[in-house]
Amino acid sequence: MPPKSSNPTGLVFLPFLPWLILCLGLAITYITQGIAQQHAKEVLQKEFDFRFDEINANIESRLSGYKSVLRGTAGLFAAAQAVDRNGFHQYVSALNPEHVYPGIQGVGYSRRVAPGDKERHIAEIRREGFASYAIRPEGVRDTYTAIIYLEPFDWRNQRAFGYDMYAEPTRRAAMARARDENREIVSGKVRLAQETDTQSGFLMYVPVYRNNAPHETLAQRRANLLGWAFSPFRVNDLMGAILGKHFGEVSGALDLEIYDGDTPSHKT
Residue 30 falls inside a structural domain: no
pLDDT in tens, 170-197: 999 999 999 999 999 999 999 999 888 8
Q: Is 138 left (phi over 0), alpha (psi -120 to 50) or beta?
A: beta
Domain count across the chain? 1
Binned at pLDDT 50, 70 and 90, residue 253 comes out as low
Residue 32 belongs to some domain of the structure: no
CATH number reported for the structural domain that contains residue 100 in this entry: 3.30.450.350
Question: What is the span of the domain harbouring residue 212?
Answer: 47-249
Q: What's the pLDDT band for 18 if we cut at 50, 70, 90? A: confident
Q: Is residue 10 part of a domain?
A: no
- Tell me what pLDDT residue 53 has: 76
Per-residue pLDDT reduced to its tens digit, 44-101: 777 777 777 777 777 787 788 889 999 999 999 888 878 999 999 999 999 888 788 7
The answer to whether residue 110 sits within a structural domain is yes
Contacts of 160 (CB under 8 A, 6+ apart): 108, 147, 150, 192, 193, 194, 232
> Nearest Cα to 203, choosing from 96, 77, 6, 67?
67
